Amino acid sequence: MAASTATLFVCSCERTMPIAPAAAGEAVGAKMIEGHQFCGAELDRVRAALNAKGEIIIACTAQAPLFVEVAEDAGREILPTFVNIRETAGWSKDAALTGPKMAALIAAAAEPMPPILQVTLESKGVALIYGRDELAIEAGRKLADRLDITVLIADPGDVAPPRSNEFPVYRGKIRSAKGHLGQFELTIDNFARPAPSSRDKLLFGDARDGAISNCDLVLDLSGGTPLFSAHELRPGYLRADPGDPAAVERAIAEAGQLVGTFDKPRYVNFDAALCAHSRSGITGCTRCLDLCPTGAIVPAGDHVAIDPAVCAGCGQCAASCPTGAVSYALPPADAVMRRLRALLLTYAKAGGREPHVLIHDGEHGEALIDALARFGDGLPANVLPLRLNEVTQAGPEIFAAAFAYGVAGVSLLARGKPKHEMAGTYRIVETANRITEGLGFGAGLVRVIETDDPDHLRVVRDAAPKGVAAKRPATFAPRGAKRGVLETAFTELHRVAPAPADVIALEKGAPFGGVILDVEGCTLCLSCVAACPTSALTDNTDKPMLRFNESLCVQCGLCQSTCPERVIKIEPRLDFAAWQAGARVLKEEEPFLCIICAKPFGTKSTVERVIAKLETRHWMFSGENAHRLDIVRMCEDCRIEKSVNEGFDPHAAPQRPPVMTTQDYLRARERKGEDPLS
């Protein structure tokens, strides 16, 4: 922001909290205006600024709708930027110490965020209601005026037939389901149509398996196993316990609204060229497939495919993807890290000490922080909240950058009962703790706090272990793709570490490491080079050579699985020296020179080994045919020319003895005067 045009409004909220120091205005290069009630008695001061040119930051989110309305009335195209310093800082028992924190929060909020991309889903209102009794039919009656209804009953029992057929009612059990709002496909077994003559109960005709039903939304009142994993996150799939009338009514009301066009965020970006899933039919990395709670990710040849309509945005795929093929888009990792950088550098510049970052989401984390501020002690003065779309989107690059920028600890605030499995996040936290402990920052400094109790949040946060912050924190500005940002963050982390060890052993499955090569057993066939999806393993076009760049290795294991000699093993570790060294030679040999044209081909050891085997074991190259071994000593061009010119026939094997049958053996014995049956 330009200091000459930007204006920052900081309010004491009717003197219930101290006003941030001038450092807040300096942090964002803005003219700072202090007040006590900008939403009421001093609203004209804000209105005047909104009528003028220049960017506006308002340190209040509670009255944001009012300020937006005033800005729109003033005809502003660019609306103000809002930041919460009341619940996150000012309303705290440590309020007197929160000046640096307020400045940091304002600076972080001023960092621009890229626009959110959208995925459009369209529903025409074709709905299938899946139930077990009359409840499903009754739900159909309530929705028939808004949706195109079909009712499917799994085990009808004694279900009275409807008096009029407003919508079809069938019998069947859903075997499998796939899709999302606007594009569901259900496979149904035991499918049967009702008999029109059903009198006191529904009677059904002949059943068949494998019937296919397509619909826009599914209302599941069966009470059975959900049709989808993490079903709460599947757009268009509504499920309610048939024994809970209130839940059923809520589901019916929601179903009635699912007609039309809907936009949902595109949570992740995917670059198939970077994916390390498989090569040549051999499976490598499966991290995203193992972690996706909604089944939005499926194998698709050498890479995976991600359905953006099904993706619920947990971000574990992006956090765990070692190559950067999957990257979070709401916002991207480098944008998050720029906000993190502004937060921590401003906090330190304003005099803050021992910062702890609290990563939280908006739906759960903000509500908990708000409750702690209103009804409890508020957050500590050195705990800096950083909002992400989902805490599970935090990857190793964020933790590495945080400690490089000078934090003393990082916490992730999650639900007491998470919406989905968090195995990927816990794995990343374990890796981050191994790295930070190995570099001398301290043990257990990255933690996950699973709680729905604001008071418990404060207690756990106060009991957090205190690490050793970097004495001279890094100041690098993150730019570019995820993998490049990660490499920069690790390099800076090692540079500022209290005890910069060169090698840190990591747990099995970690996305960083090296390869161990049995040099004697390697034939330099280079199949590993062809399989490596990140070019960590490379060859040399001028000489038989295998090189390895550890900074590019993602431990997918494709080299290990592909190697025909089984002489490659992967080793999870973080070798900072190797990351800086670039490609190193694992094995090299002298090439074998063609005896005709001197063209290099193959390796000397391999050709000599082949010759040694052929001259003693194969009729074509032994004895009087030993001269034919020269063929092996020639390049492919000279070999073809010699074979054609000299009429070399590789199929001219010696005449083999005829095949003998049992009758042949018996006749031979008879000719010798022997009893053939003795």
More confident: 72 or 624: 72
Query: What is residue 128's predicted lDDT score, i.e. its pLDDT?
Result: 98
The two structure tokens encoding residue 183: 């594009």
**Statement: residue 318 has pLDDT above 80:** yes
Whole-structure pTM value: 0.86
Query: What is residue 648's predicted lDDT score, i.e. its pLDDT?
Result: 60
Q: How many residues does the chain have?
A: 678
Query: What is residue 625's predicted lDDT score, i.e. its pLDDT?
Result: 67
Residues 153, 171: Cα–Cα separation, whole Å: 5
Residues 310, 71: Cα–Cα separation, whole Å: 37
The two structure tokens encoding residue 2: 């330009």
**Statement: residue 656 has pLDDT above 70:** no
**Statement: residue 189 has pLDDT above 60:** yes
The two structure tokens encoding residue 24: 């807040």
Nearest partner of 607 among 591, 620, 623, judged by Cα: 591
Query: What is residue 156's predicted lDDT score, i.e. its pLDDT?
Result: 85
Least confident residue range of 296-300, 482-486, 552-556: 482-486
Residue by residue, DSSP assigns 349-389 as HTT--S-EEEEE-TTTHHHHHHHHHHHS----TTEEEEE-S
Give the whole-number percent of the chain exceeding pLDDT 70: 95
**Statement: residue 677 has pLDDT above 70:** no
Query: What is residue 581's predicted lDDT score, i.e. its pLDDT?
Result: 92
Nearest partner of 135 among 231, 218, 249, judged by Cα: 249
Are 433 and 443 spatial neighbours (Cβ–Cβ below 8 Å)?
yes
What are 382-404's pLDDT values in tens digits?
999 999 999 999 999 999 999 99
Q: Phi/psi class of residue 362: alpha, beta or left (left: φ > 0; alpha: ψ in -120 to 50)?
A: alpha
Residues 552, 484: Cα–Cα separation, whole Å: 10
**Statement: residue 604 has pLDDT above 80:** no
Query: What is residue 3's predicted lDDT score, i.e. its pLDDT?
Result: 43
Nearest partner of 354 among 409, 402, 399, judged by Cα: 409
**Statement: residue 479 has pLDDT above 80:** yes
**Statement: residue 111 has pLDDT above 50:** yes
Query: What is residue 616's predicted lDDT score, i.e. its pLDDT?
Result: 66
**Statement: residue 21 has pLDDT above 90:** no
What are 343-381's pLDDT values in tens digits?
999 999 999 999 999 999 999 999 999 999 999 999 999
What are 532-577's pLDDT values in tens digits?
999 999 999 888 899 999 999 999 999 999 999 999 999 999 999 9
**Statement: residue 678 has pLDDT above 70:** no
Query: What is residue 611's predicted lDDT score, i.e. its pLDDT?
Result: 79
100 three-class SS: helix
**Statement: residue 464 has pLDDT above 60:** yes
More confident: 627 or 348: 348
What are 245-292's pLDDT values in tens digits?
999 999 999 999 999 999 999 999 999 999 999 999 999 999 999 999
**Statement: residue 603 has pLDDT above 90:** no
Name the pLDDT band for 664 (thresholds 50, 70, 90).
confident
Query: What is residue 622's predicted lDDT score, i.e. its pLDDT?
Result: 67
Least confident residue range of 26-30, 446-450, 569-573: 26-30
Strand-pairing partners, residue 82, are: 58
Per the prediction, the chain carries an average pLDDT of: 91
Residues 284, 561: Cα–Cα separation, whole Å: 8
**Statement: residue 498 has pLDDT above 80:** yes
Segment 166-171 mean pLDDT: 93
Are 57 and 106 spatial neighbours (Cβ–Cβ below 8 Å)?
yes
Name the pLDDT band for 652 (thresholds 50, 70, 90).
low
131 three-class SS: strand
Segment 13-35 mean pLDDT: 85
Query: What is residue 649's predicted lDDT score, i.e. its pLDDT?
Result: 60
**Statement: residue 406 has pLDDT above 70:** yes
Query: What is residue 350's predicted lDDT score, i.e. its pLDDT?
Result: 92
Name the pLDDT band for 589 (thresholds 50, 70, 90).
confident
Query: What is residue 667's predicted lDDT score, i.e. its pLDDT?
Result: 81
Name the pLDDT band for 1 (thresholds 50, 70, 90).
very low
